[in-house]
Structures are given as structure tokens and as C-alpha cells.
Amino acid sequence: MEGLTFYSYPSCTSCRRTKAWLKSQDIAFKEQHLFRDTPNTEELKRILSLTTNGIDEILAKRSKEFKKLSINVDEMSVNEFLELVMEKPKLLRRPILTDGEKLVVGYNVEGLRGITNRRKEFSEQIS
């Protein structure tokens, strides 16, 4: 199991709330700025592989960036989607938190508990 990676944007309210929750629980994580250090193709493929709803789970369809585009995502291939997101990272929902096995998108306390409790239990087993 890898460490937690927290893909965020500092001025995003959900990102700030998620970060505050993680810190309040003393959970270690690696933070990666979504726009300055956009996940590469392999990272995005890994994130997509952890979704239950595919592209819809990580695509910010209500964002201004998405509304400016006149595209039908359902008609795009995965590679076309990945290229688009690499070019326009604001299309990603945020925050995205993953431990390499589970994924939490947005500020979701129940999801955060699930991903972090499992990490704490695993850490206690190997101590």
C-alpha cells in the first residue's frame, strides 16, 4: 500500500476542508497541486481505474471550464479524455485523495474515514 496522495487546489473550499480534516486526524499525506503539477497520464489512468463511475466521477461537469467546451464526453475515448484533462486540469473535480487502492473525490467525510481508518488499521498491524 502506498501513502496517501492528496490532489488539491489551495483556493478550493472542499480541498481546504479535506486538508483540515486530514490534519485534525493526524493523517500523513503527500499534497500535489492539481494545476501546477497536473497528474501525468499514468497517474490519471490509475485514478480512473479506482473509480466506480469512470470519467463521470472525476470530471467537473458543473465547472465554468467544462461549460465553455461544447463536447460530449461520452463520445470521447479514454485517451482523448486524458489529453483534454492534461491540457485543462480545471476539468478535474477536487480534491482527489487516493492510497493507490481506494479513491475519494470531493469533501466526503465518510469516504475519508474509510480510506484513512484502513491505513491506521494496517499501520497498527505492522507495528
Cell readout for 58 is: 472525476
Q: 3-state class of 105 per DSSP?
A: strand
Helices and strands: H and E segment counts in the chain: 6, 4
Question: Who's near 66: CB < 8 A, 6+ residues apart?
Answer: 59, 60, 91
Residue of 9, 12, 66, 102 marked active site: 12
Phi-psi group of 100: left, alpha or beta (phi > 0 → left; psi -120 to 50 → alpha; rest → beta): left
DSSP per-residue string spanning 7-48: EE-TT-HHHHHHHHHHHHTT---EEEETTTS---HHHHHHHH
Query: Is 12 noted as a catalytic residue in this protein?
Result: yes
Catalytic (active-site) positions: 12
